Structure 1
Amino acid sequence: MKKIVVILVLLLALFKPNTAVAQDLLKSTDLSTLKVDYLSDTDIAKIKSQLQTNNVTIDQAEPMALAKGMSATEFAKLKIRLGGTTMVKSTTVKTENIEDDQPELTRKQEKIVNKKVKDTLNSLVFGSELFDNPTLNFEPASKLATPVNYILGPGDELQVSVYGVQEYNASVPVSLEGKVTIQYVGQIPVSGMTIEAATQKIKGAIARVYSTVRSGQSQVGISLSRIRTIKITIIGSKQPGNYSVSSLSSVYNALFLGGGPSKNGSYRNIELLRNNKVFKKIDIYNFLVNGNQSDNIGLKDNDVIRIPAYIQRVTVEGQVKRPGIFEMKSGETFKDLINFASGFNEFAYTASVNVLQKTSKDFKVKDIKASEYGIYKPLAGDVYRVSKILNRFENRIKIEGAVFRPDTYSFYEGMRISDLVNQADGLKEDAYTNRATIVRLKSNLTTEVVNVNLAAALAGDEASDVALSKEDVVTVYSILDFKEDYKITIDGEIKKPGVYDYHDKLTLNDLLIQAGGLTGSASKRVEIARMTKSETIDDANPNKVELYNLEITADTNEQTKNFTLSPFDVVNIRRMAVYEKPQMVKISGAVNYTGKYVLVQKQEKIYDIIQRAGGLTSVADLNGVKIKRPIQAKQIEDLENVNLNLGKKDSIQNKLEKKLKEDLKFATIPVDWNKIVKNPNSNTNVTLFAGDEIEVATYNESVKITGNVLLTSEIPYDKGKGFGYYLNSVGGTDAKGWRKKAYIIYPNGKAGVSKSFLFIRSYPKVLPGSQIVVPEKPETRKMSTGEWVSIGTVLTSLALLIVTAFK
């Protein structure tokens, strides 16, 4: 028996240091004796609570624990147990009804979900938009401090913490009997008490058990960690029924969940019933108009929110800031109604408002004067129409034209035209003072014109200083308005030809400088054409204009006499008789010196250029000389202007134009070099144009056969063989080949085609470097059996007709 007692004492001695260390991991000075395997789940939970209270992570506590003698092996065990242990009395008790994504320090409550439906039926009712907006739900914030007057009840959960010399941390729920159970303290009734009163009661009960709490060495903290759910009922809303809400929820939050008042529900006489009595009447307009939430009181279990039908609604239309349908209480006036509508807008006619009223039989119209706004009491069904102010002015007058400040000014009685001109900072220098006009609006809204001698009016002549009326429009003319807009034209060898403005005393030299000066090709001759002016017609003079021929110095852009120009003159700068820039051609291929050459003579021949290029080389093909001439834009334009009478839908001409524009960039001119050598004056010695390119082919001892043949190939040239030999050498034509239309392209670009005479077909001669092309046969449609039958029928009918005719 003694041995058993000794063993128990030793075990207690070993366990107590571990427990003491577990209760204060951070404050302990010696952790060398701590054995994690001997710690219970409750001890691990206390360590975790201690770390959370001090806002320290396990990784941050590691260096401190190792410094106090704890081995790395034991700390690794502790870290594993802290990461995988479920705390029985911890604050984080997760259920399906608790938000999992909230931080640990956030108060827990059940998630309340309500799908909002856009109210299109009551969209014009003032206040309906309050319950359509999903971001405005009046949901109580779980992160705020608990209200001191919060009443505890079954379902709430308290977080009780003792810290200091002694430590204790647990989450204690309020039972159905309204009590909380604290270890070693017992059961404490808290239901029906405020959180403040319950805190004092629990502190007193703990102090009776924990001596360090009585002495002040330990402190007690109590907070609300979980909020209970209460049941309420909403009647008369868009979505009436029973709702489970947080015990911190308010009336507005419940109304939002219910979708707000129904179609005929009141927004101003909502009743909160508690214990079968009207506890509070809610007027939502206090919040909508003034932002006053005094009616937004907290709810209790089994509260009923009743939304009765409205008693009186009116409609406001037109020029108010918030038109719509408004609910009115007894005793409220039209001034209150305008306040609900946020007042008149800036275009409203506020002197009176038209109202459409309903009687027991029909409608009637009434006007409410501004003086009656504070005493007139709206009736159910009234429709108020706030009209717009008139688009007219009571004191407007306008001046425009040659004054320094043309604008609209205010009119006053006795105002004269001199007063208005002075108000506009006077006349401009170009003002025409002999006459100004006033366009005046008469009483019947027609207009009339009043003429004024402005010079006399400003000089003090009372008769000329006309009295003005409101809505007058005064126009002061400018002498520039009567001046014609003169132009002058310059063309020819000038850098910026065009039409320029004419100014008095404009000279030819001035115009030349304004137009950028002469070009390098300008001659000294200038021709000026001037319009003729006469009051009578002179039939003896056939000229339409007068011509002036002048001479200028092209180097200085100046004219000796400096000719003075007149309006609408046309100046032409002539081009020099001889002014041509050097033009070049290009030669490539089998010549001694390829490259570009300038055309020296006006009629430079191909023979001359080849001779300048050193003549043909020894490998040159004498039958392979050709000229590639660029197709000019004018050639395409001439083709477009030619009518081939092919019809609008025929595409032949369109294809030809497209080919010239996009595909063919050069026209090939074949050259017979042997003929030129024998006779340089031969017509094949072509005159060259700028941009021409001479190509001299290298001698090629083969013949190329392409097109619709069995084998596209090059066959060595055999002097004694003809056209058929080369076609047979590649296997002849294929099924689509058109042999009789085969042609040959010679090295100089010239083409040769086959010919026939009396059923005898002759083919062109083949030369080295030539290319034989076999085109494709055109597709032909075979006649059907029906067509042959039709032809036979026609022939039979003709035969019968002939036989009948000769009988």
Structure 2
Amino acid sequence: MSSFRRLAAAAVLLAAAPALRAQQLPTPDQARRVLESRPDLAAQLRQEISGSGLTPDQIRARLRASGYPEDLLDTYLRAPRSARDSVAGGLPSDDVLDAVAALGLADSTDTLAGRDSLRSALRRRRLARDPRDANRLDSLVDARDSLADDTLPRLTPARRRPGARTVVDSGMAIFGLNVFAGATTQFDPNLAGPVDANYRLGPGDRLVLLITGDTERAFTLDVTREGFVVIPGVGELPVANLTLAQLDDVLYQRLGRLYSGLRRGPGATTRFSINVARLHTNQIYVLGDVAEPGSYRVSSAGTALTALYAAGGPTENGSLRRVEVRRGGRIVDTLDLYDYLLRADGSHDPRLQSGDVVFVPVHGARVRVHGEIVRPATYELRPGETMADVMRAAGGFTAAAVRRRVQVSRILPPNERAGGDAGRVVIDVASVGTRDSGLGTREGAVPESRVPSPESRVPAFPLEDGDVLRVFPVSDRVARRVTVKGDVWSPGMVGFTPGMKLADAVRMAGGLKPDAYLGQVLVSRLRPADSSRVQLRTAFKDASGATSEDVVLQDDDEVRVFAVGDMRPATFVAITGAVRRPGRYAYREGMTLRDLVLVAGGLDRRAYLGEAEIATPPADGSARLAVARRVPLDSTYLLVADRGAQNDGQAGPRAAPEVALEPYANVLVFAQPDGAAERARRVTLTGEVRFPGTYTLLAKDERLSDLLQRAGGPTKTAYAGGIVFYRAHGNVGRIGVDLPSVLRDAHYRDNLLLQDGDSVHLPAYSGVVEVQGAVNAPRAVAWVPGKSLDYYVRAAGGTTRTGEMRRAYVTQPDGAVESAVARRMMPDVVPTPKPGSVVYVTERDPADHSVESVQKLAVLAQILGALTTIAVVLRR
């Protein structure tokens, strides 16, 4: 079981204790509140406790020894009761790891050994999980990609979320940084596997000594802080800084004194083996331009790359070519990460010792390679490296690369700049590289058979810091081809060979189709001098593609073969009227009227089966637009029997004769007279009638009074004056109807003809008038016979300051709207509300008042001007 799982189990309960940074444990009450306020930790706590290997009694004992109630975690010692409790929570925080060391609830050596590496791993995982951080990375990438094409990257993030957007050939990404971007165990030392004979022992290692043969013994030996182990019967044995191979020699000497049969060689009767069961950790310092510089506890099996990955790897300013390993104040080795990334060479990745310093200096010169290259990126140069070395690191050219030259954009040194914008120059470097260009310049990089000749390698052109290398793609123009278009079986490009004839190109394009036009074929030829085209033409002898003239084609010719069908005029016939899909349809020779009805989906239920009309263009060339004729129909034209259809005009039992159609014929299928086959019309009647419901109209001339009579008439509580009549057809809406007059006289004008979808509601009597709008107390007022609109407005408190009485109106119960009418020489007409009506007082528009005042001032100014003129004239 890993130390992380054992440590996190007991430490989650202390996740919210800021005092842990000062190694102060929270009180029991604080810990309990943390557990109660963070229910999302319950599932993770259960999972880690179950995987820690501790029994409930052991966990309670450790809680009790740490000053916590021993039943603090009893709830989490049981299995989860629902799937919701089993969902893993978030990652432990840094406080969790500090609390582990403070509590001592797990092996202290394992805790100290793994805490720092765990902290780095958790930070990387939080970065990958936090969408806000991912969004920040995306913004950095967007800013980076928006830089000019000839500038070096300045915003390449040291941490990049996997799957983030990249520009394929931009070259802006710093080569090698993506190795340290994700959470991975690829650089973690193998703690469970065996160690080699050169492994150096140190304090914290645990050894297992097995003796077999004449005696069977097994000893577990811990290397003490002083660097020795104690072997029963042998005594203290110093092992610090010894390799396993050296320890074997010492054990042969010391154990041979105790066991007479233990010796080297085949005659030995006693043998031993010494193995490392647990590795000690080294205190390593990772400094310089790294993502998380600091001190780290790294396994003794770890190397410089292990420590570098624990610290998050170099930043965008860090070097990947000169990672220094310092020991005792001097450099003992230098790690070039390109050896790992490009050649899998780990010979300069030394195993670390306690106190070693891994230092990442500022990066050296960098160049960017983009375009048609296998790995576009920004590469760091070591002193003396040239364009050939960079191209080798970038993987060489792609198949679509122009290999004649590589363009270099260079920033001039300050002393060479002429001023203004002359700070950058472009250099074209001649190159005759192949696909393996540069890959064989190191011995053993590729098989000897693939090593390119010296003249095909990328030149050793010296590069400078800030150079941008661009490899151009080949032109999109396709050479050595002829394009065949039109009425052939496989139109498109065919390969061109010198001396190719037109018949050869047509044959390679699959040959002519049966309806190909043989009278003429066009050949469009490109003029190399000015890129214009000239038109050539010839004709086919027969359908084999042979031409009357042996036209010899040239590169990039375009052959156009025409089809006879494309030259025919498009013929059609049309059908309208009582069919399911009226419209225009393609004409086919021999098409009949029955065929056209079938194509149009058949007749609908309104169709009149007596006859149809066919209009065709005049055949004699007269000035008439069309000639119409009537043709008989019968029930056989009904493709699907319709029981509800009323075919009053069907033509008897015998089938009507087939009617052949001509091009451009227009067929009209009549609908049945008087709409006999129209669908049923329905009207909804609700409210105070004896039999409300949805009624089907019996005739087209059925009126409102007829419907009320069918419904048993109004009830005693019905209010005929408040009828609500809505018409859906045509979106007419509500219609005002004087129902009392209709009930007295069926010939009254408001006795409307009913239509499909009409809705009639007859309400109960209402003895109030509702007052709304700009009144001081909007409310319902009891109806008083003969009282006008003014009475009800006063009963509602009168108009407000913004109310405009002269524009008030009344909506009567039957839907009629009446408003006050001002008359100069006669009394004003004021509407009288009826029971159930609504009085509405509108608000005055502020703009109306200002406009009215301006108009009055203008009239007044005219009057004053006229009076002034009269006064002046009188004085004279």
Q: What band does the TM-score fall into relative to the shorter chain?
A: 0.5 to 0.7
* Cα drift, residue 194 of structure 1: 1.5
Instruction: Confirm whether residue 704 of structure 1 aligns to residue 768 of structure 2.
Output: yes
Q: Which residue of 2 aligns with 1:16?
A: none
1:321-720 matches, within 5 Å, as 321-323=374-376, 324-325=378-379, 327=381, 337-350=390-403, 365-370=428-433, 372-373=454-455, 378-381=460-463, 385-444=470-529, 445-455=531-541, 458=544, 464-523=549-608, 524-532=610-618, 541=623, 543=624, 545-557=625-637, 560=656, 562-580=658-676, 581=678, 583=681, 603-604=701-702, 619=716, 624=720, 628-631=724-727, 633-634=729-730, 636=732, 664-672=733-741, 675-676=744-745, 703-707=767-771, 712=780
Change (3 A) 1:82 1:517: closer
CA RMSD of aligned residues (A): 6.2
Distance (whole Å) between structure 2 residues aligned to residue 81 and residue 683 of structure 1:
100
Q: Is the 8 A contact 1:741 1:774 kept in 2?
A: no
**Larger CA Rg, structure 1 vs 2:** 1
Alignment identity in percent?
A: 21
SS at structure 2 position matched to 1:489: strand
1:518 shift after superposition:
2.6
Residue 48 (structure 1) aligns with = none
- Letter paired with 2:280: I
Q: Quick one: which of 201, 207, 211 aligns to 1:152?
A: 201
Specify the SS of the correspondent of 1:286: helix
- Whether the 8 Å CA contact 2:488–2:509 is kept in 1: the answer is yes
TM-aligned CA deviation for residue 460 of structure 1:
5.9
| AA partner of residue 350 (structure 2) | I
Decide whether aligned partners of structure 1 residues 764 and 487 sit closer, same or farther in structure 2, where only a CA change above 3 A counts: closer
Q: Are 1:267 and 2:321 an aligned pair?
A: yes
Q: Shift of residue 634 of structure 1?
A: 4.0
Q: Is the 8 A contact 1:397 1:473 kept in 2?
A: yes
Which amino acid letter does the alignment assign opposite residue 556 of structure 1? T
1:111 to 98, 106, 116: 116
Match for residue 797 of structure 2 among 719, 734, 737: 734
Contact 1:165 1:212 in 2 (8 A): no
Provide the C-alpha distance between the structure 2 equivalents of 1:449 and 1:300, rounded to a whole number of angstroms.
Answer: 82
Cα distance in 2, alignment partners of residues 391 and 58 from structure 1:
69
- Per-residue CA shift, 1:760-801, capped at 9, x if unaligned? 99999999xx447665486699999xx99999x999999999
CA contact (8 A) 1:126 1:325 kept: yes
Once the two structures are superposed, what CA deviation does each residue of 1:434-482 show, in whole Å capped at 9, x if it has no partner? 2212222233232222212122694866x62322222222222111111
In 2, the alpha carbon distance for the partners of 1:570 and 1:342 equals 71
Change in Cα spacing, 1:425 to 1:187, as seen in structure 2 (3 Å) is same
CA distance in 1, matches of 2:594, 2:839: 69
In 2, Cα distance between equivalents of 1:104 and 1:749: 92
- What do residues 68-104 of structure 1 show as CA deviations (whole Å, max 9, x unaligned)? xxxxxxxx9x999999899xxxxxxx99599987899
Q: Look up the equivalent residue of 1:493 and give its one-letter code.
A: A
Asked whether the equivalents of residues 209 and 273 of structure 2 are also in contact (C-alpha less than 8 Å), the reply is yes
Are residues 1:229 and 2:282 paired?
Answer: yes
Letter in 2 for 1:547: V
In the TM superposition, residue 735 of structure 1 has moved relative to its aligned partner by: 3.9
For residues 197 and 373 of structure 2, the distance between their equivalents in structure 1, rounded to whole angstroms, comes to 45
Q: Which moved more, 1:481-490 or 1:253-262?
A: 253-262
Structure 1 Cα separation of the partners of residues 593 and 516 of structure 2: 32
Q: Determine the C-alpha separation between the residues in 2 that align with 1:401 and 1:614.
A: 77
Say which SS state the counterpart of residue 339 (structure 2) adopts: helix
Relative to structure 1, is the Cα distance of residues 441 and 511 closer, same or farther in structure 2, using a 3 angstrom cutoff?
same
Query: Which ranges of structure 1 fall in alignment gaps of 5 or more residues?
Result: 1-54, 61-75, 87-93, 637-663, 716-720
Q: Over residues 386-445 of structure 1, what are the superposed CA-to-partner deviations in whole Å (9 max), with x where a residue is unaligned?
A: 332222333212222222222322222222222222223322111112221222223323
Shift of 1:181: 4.9
Q: Deviations over 1:513-539 (max 9, x none)?
A: 22123333333343333345888xx7x
CA distance in 2, matches of 1:264, 1:745: 84
The residue matched to 1:347 in structure 2 has which SS? coil
Output the CA distance in 1 between the equivalents of 2:480 and 2:820: 100
Q: Counterpart amino acid of 2:737?
A: T
Aligned equivalents of 1:467, 1:706: Cα separation in 2? 97
State the distance in 2 between where 1:695 and 1:238 align: 79
Match of 2:96 in 1: none
- Deviations along 1:344-394, one digit per CA (max 9) or x if unpaired, are 112112356567899998997552334545677614327665332222333
SS in 2 for 1:429: coil
Equivalent pair of 1:587/1:694 in contact (CA under 8 Å): yes
Does the aligned pair in 2 maintain the 1:507–1:563 contact within 8 Å? yes
Query: Aligned letter for 2:402?
Result: Y
**Amino acid in structure 1 at the alignment position of 2:392:** N
What does residue range 717-796 of structure 1 map to in structure 2 within 5 Å?
722-723=785-786, 732-736=795-799, 770-771=835-836, 775-776=840-841
Task: Give the letter aligned to residue 668 of structure 2.
Answer: N
The residue aligned with 2:241 is: 192
The answer as to whether partners of 1:486 and 1:567 remain within 8 angstroms in 2 is yes
Q: Is the 8 A contact 2:736 2:816 kept in 1?
A: no
Q: Normalised by the size of structure 2, how large is the TM-score?
A: 0.59
Q: Look up the equivalent residue of 1:147 and give its one-letter code.
A: D
Structure 1 pair 432–667 and aligned structure 2 pair: CA distance change class (3 A):
same
Deviations 1:642-688 (CA, angstroms, capped at 9, x unpaired): xxxxxxxxxxxxxxxxxxxxxx5454333326743xxx656576655
Q: Which has the higher mean CA deviation after the structures are superposed, 282-291 or 297-306?
A: 297-306
CA shift, 1:491, in A, is: 1.0
Amino acid in the other structure paired with 1:189: P
Structure 1 counterpart SS, 2:597: helix
Q: Aligned residues, how many?
A: 675
| Paired residue secondary structure (1:173) | coil
If the length of structure 1 is used for normalisation, what is the TM-score? Answer: 0.63
**CA contact 1:238–1:263 (8 Å) conserved in 2:** no
Q: Give 5+ residue unaligned stretches, structure 2.
A: 1-50, 67-98, 125-136, 141-151, 157-171, 417-424, 434-452, 639-654
| CA distance in structure 2 between the aligned counterparts of 1:630 and 1:553, rounded to whole angstroms | 41
User: Secondary structure at the residue paired with 1:421?
Assistant: helix
Native 8 Å contact 2:789 2:831 kept in 1: no
What is the alpha-carbon distance in structure 2 between the residues aligned to residue 79 and residue 259 of structure 1?
A: 38
